[in-house]
Structure 1
């Protein structure tokens, strides 16, 4: 896990890729579960734009995200995006953060992966 110690993954969509939402959510669920099972966890996962919806209490991937968070991964949701989607009180996992937080985390990361 040392190689991923300072990796940041960014989710900016509700799921993975563009197209069918059900498929995008299935892919995201598979991705998070495989990430968890393989134990190559990043230090941080940021969520912005529609990506913040993955942290919603009704999200189909919230269970695995809670498991990832319990392993010490920081899950950071863009506050502006939460406000835009009126989700301030519906965050089931993760913590709100500012765009400046995201910029700082990106600058400090040794590797940034955008999904």
Structure 2
């Protein structure tokens, strides 16, 4: 089994390295830092039908064994094309104008999603949008309910790191730019707020 060392790599380099290695080798052992890199690589592999086992090898470092007899060329995308509606939220405010009004509008929008007939497949939070999924957000309960209804809630790992909020994430999971790009490109409809 091929071993690749992805420790100390910035997002999305670990996922891209694993993607390329899986295309060549089919099975891998990946050395990773704890946190977002481990979560992102594990999710990437699982979404493509691979088995993933994790073992902590030292403080803050993990080895992920990725195995499968699935043909990588037939399982290369995590979602089918036209997989649904994706909301891309890049701010904790909705619209232009006074920040206080923008925060209120965003809060009302997210709460209103619970009452709509058609739910998004995923909601992606980037830039200051990640503040909606972290400690102190007014919409955590609504997002948790959406998650319970089957809506995928994902926050940018790099953004969480940038704002020092990685440990403050309260709803959903983390994502990286490769997964974000795949989500957006495979969606039947993308709505940016």
Displacement of 1:18 in angstroms is 2.9
Distance 1:71 1:65 in 2: 10
Q: By how many angstroms is 1:109 displaced?
A: 0.3
Equivalent residues in 2 for 1:1-115, closer than 5 Å: 6-115=84-193
Offset of 1:85 from its aligned partner?
A: 0.4
More helix by share: 1
* TM-score of the two chains, using structure 2 as the length reference: 0.55
Q: CA deviation at 1:62?
A: 1.2
Structure 2 SS opposite 1:10 = strand
User: RMSD of the TM alignment (CA)?
Assistant: 1.2
Aligned-pair distance for 1:7?
Answer: 0.4
Give aligned pairs, total: 111
Cα deviation for residue 24 of structure 1 reads 1.4
- Tell me, in whole angstroms, the C-alpha distance in 1 between the residues paired with 2:132 and 2:97: 16
For structure 1, which runs of at least 5 residues remain unmatched after alignment?
none
Q: Counterpart of 2:120 in 1: which secondary structure?
A: coil
Q: CA deviation at 1:68?
A: 0.8
For normalisation by structure 1, the TM-score amounts to 0.91
1:62 and 1:39 map into 2 onto residues whose CA distance is 21
Instruction: Give the C-alpha shift of residue 79 in structure 1.
Output: 0.6
Q: How many angstroms does 1:22 deviate by?
A: 2.1
- Measure the CA separation in 2 of the matches of 1:39 and 1:90: 31
